[in-house]
Structure 1
Amino acid sequence: IPDCMRVWGIDSGVRHFVGGSDYGTVRCATFMGREILRKSLAGRTKLPAVTGDVSHVVHVPPSLLAELRSELPESLLGSEFVSKYGSHGDPITTIAPDTRYAVRESTGHPIGEHHRVSVFESMLRAAGSAGSASAVGSKTELELLGELMYQSHASYSTIGLGSDATDLIVKLVRSRGPASGLYGAKITGGGSGGTVCVMGDASPLAEASLQQVLADYQALSGHEPYVVIGSSAGALEFGHLRIRFE
């Protein structure tokens, strides 16, 4: 991370749970979409080639997904998918015949997210290669990174993995705008609560703005937020604990 940037994690106080039906349903729908795209691509010769054999849905770039979007049903019953396509190829989830899956949005999320992350990473690596923050040093560039984070957060909500608590934190950050030193925020991990990542510049103003976000969030939600700053030294320096199962 360039010296001009700071990243904080705000724990919303709402349990981050990825083992529930919502996450499983979205994952299942994504694998359905992958299978539909694989079969669609196999029958077309005029579309550009994709990287690999679509073993991962992110092998399909966003531009190609836009061309194939009409191939993906907005929603589909599990029984309808099995009847037409057979297995969805996911060893973790099981298709429920009577469940209606939001295939189109669930498939689009990881494709868009992979692209956003790739762009975000490329900008940070460019800054590192330059040996300074020059590649991510201007207000405009920080705003671009922040926009990628806001897009990611909105995409989580579109597929039903958002939460009122994390939405509130992101709204509080966004309402202050770049003039506050805070440029972006997004839900993390599997969504549905948990921690919001906030990105800002390395200034006293940004720190003060973050504290105001925390105070406003606690007043509005009743949850006392916990802030994570930086990272640990890692197992090599800190040591580790080995657990054996017998």
Structure 2
Amino acid sequence: MEQCRFCKLYSFGSELSNRAPTFDMDLSDFMDGDKPISYEKAKEYFSQDPSQKWAAYVAGTVLVLMTELGVQFTDSMSILVSSSVPEGKGVSSSASVEVATMSAIAAVYGLNIAPRDLAILCQKVENHIVGAPCGVMDQMTSACGEANKLLAMVCQPAEVKELVSIPTHIRFWGLDSGIRHSVGGTDYGSVRVGTYMGRKMIKCAASDLISQSFPSTPTQSCDASEEYEKYGVDLLKSEASLQYLCNLPPHRYEAAYARDIPEFITGDEFMEKYGDHNDAVTVIDPKRSYSVKAPTRHPIYENFRVEAFKALLTAAKTDEQLSALGELMYQCHYSYNACGLGSDGTDRLVNLVQEIQHRKTTSQHEGPSLFGAKITGGGSGGSVCVIGKNSLKSSEEIFEIQKRYKAATGYLPIVFEGSSPGAGKFGYLKIRWRSA
């Protein structure tokens, strides 16, 4: 008779949400004969009781380790979850729990998993077991981040380019709107579908332009020659095999593709013309209308904004530098809103930052201390990030925004400040029990 192996989860702070404080399961529930169960079955397993769906973020790491690395768990385990990262605020609470749990399990069982690889494994937990079609940025930050530095990365699938130190004269704050955020919501998923639709349209358009460059009849030769000179076949070939929209420069998007990307398209129309959208974690609803133009445009321009932000961050210490950094953040915020991922609360906070910034700009006595703001995380609520001078005056203005927001909404925003190392840098603490 096989010995039972239990997985017991305990969650501090459950009284502040609708989740149950404990979750118990037999690890044999993760097995289908001599193989781990599918991620789809695991997703159904954790979705049976809404009050216990939180366990998917924690116990899901066990199944991913079994499936992806072939780890065999022969003993029972108890996991206590205690986190100071607020839930539903758009500040990576789910990623931090996944990364912390998997890091602890890896330490206990002697698994040597590089921080980057651990982040990718945790993304699988969120995508396939929790059912949230998120990217890997939050997991990468939780695993690979360092205190007082910004993480410059490319998600292809996940590579750290460099860690950029935050200059001492610049300061960042997070302000919580009080509107709960979830990347598992339908809005985030539909925006992702629209993004993948746009990528497929661009690839098909590039293929069509290539075919025009090789005329089959004499009457086409003049037009084809013009197309060839305008675009270049080699460039079009690379765009026809485009894997990531952020690799398409904004000028190429505007020159060759922007005019043909529709604002909206129904699932039926898209599948009839283009087939599948080639995304492993979302499904097209044939009857639904999807926004395409804004979700397609966002990653193309956002990549440019991020690169510009990184370059400006280490530039001269002037108000012009801060103004340019703030402008990039504003552009990001409104681009995200255009995708349908904004909210009244986050817009109100960004508007308050703008009001204070421009009030100071028009003052004859002093310039602004705050320079920009943007929504964070997956959007549809959550928090905004604010950039400003590292000064007493900017802190006073953040407090003013808190008071004005509360006066308008009745909710006093939580302020997030500072940073800490990710799991890869922090490591782990191991407690050894001694018998009396």
Task: Mark the CA change 1:234 to 1:59 in structure 2 (over 3 Å): closer, same or farther.
Answer: closer
1:38 and 2:203 correspond: yes
Aligned residue for 2:183, secondary structure, equals coil
Which one of 272, 278, 285 corresponds to residue 89 of structure 1? Answer: 278
Task: Mark the CA change 1:11 to 1:136 in structure 2 (over 3 Å): closer, same or farther.
Answer: farther
In the other structure, the counterpart of 1:200 is 388
* 8 Å Cα contact 1:136/1:142 also seen in 2: no
Aligned residue for 2:171, secondary structure, equals strand
In the other structure, the counterpart of 1:219 is 407
In the other structure, the counterpart of 1:28 is 193
Alignment of 1:1-246 (within 5 A): 1-44=166-209, 45=228, 46-47=230-231, 49=235, 53-67=241-255, 68-124=257-313, 127=314, 135-177=315-357, 179-235=367-423, 236-237=425-426, 239=428
Identity within the alignment, %: 42
The CA deviation at 1:65 is: 1.2
Whole-angstrom CA distance in 2 between matches of 1:73 and 1:154: 19
The CA deviation at 1:240 is: 6.1
* 8 Å Cα contact 1:11/1:195 also seen in 2: yes
Whole-angstrom CA distance in 2 between matches of 1:225 and 1:163: 15
* 8 Å Cα contact 1:180/1:205 also seen in 2: no
Whole-angstrom CA distance in 2 between matches of 1:73 and 1:200: 37
The CA deviation at 1:180 is: 3.4
Q: Which has the larger radius of gyration?
A: 2
Runs of 4+, deviation exceeding 6 Å: none
The CA deviation at 1:239 is: 2.9
User: Which one-letter code corresponds to 2:348 in the other structure?
Assistant: L
Task: Mark the CA change 1:221 to 1:144 in structure 2 (over 3 Å): closer, same or farther.
Answer: same
Name stretches of at least 5 consecutive residues in structure 1 with no aligned partner.
128-134, 242-246
Aligned residues: 232
Q: Any idea what the Cα deviations from partners look like across 1:41-84, whole Å, max 9, x if unmatched? A: 12324326276731011121111111211121121110010000
TM-score by length of structure 1 reads: 0.89
User: Which one-letter code corresponds to 2:401 in the other structure?
Assistant: V
In the other structure, the counterpart of 1:132 is none
Aligned residue for 2:231, secondary structure, equals coil
The CA deviation at 1:233 is: 3.7
Whole-angstrom CA distance in 1 between matches of 2:192 and 2:429: 32
Whole-angstrom CA distance in 1 between matches of 2:377 and 2:242: 23
The CA deviation at 1:12 is: 1.4
Larger relative contact order, structure 1 or 2 (CA cutoff 8 Å, min sep 6): 1
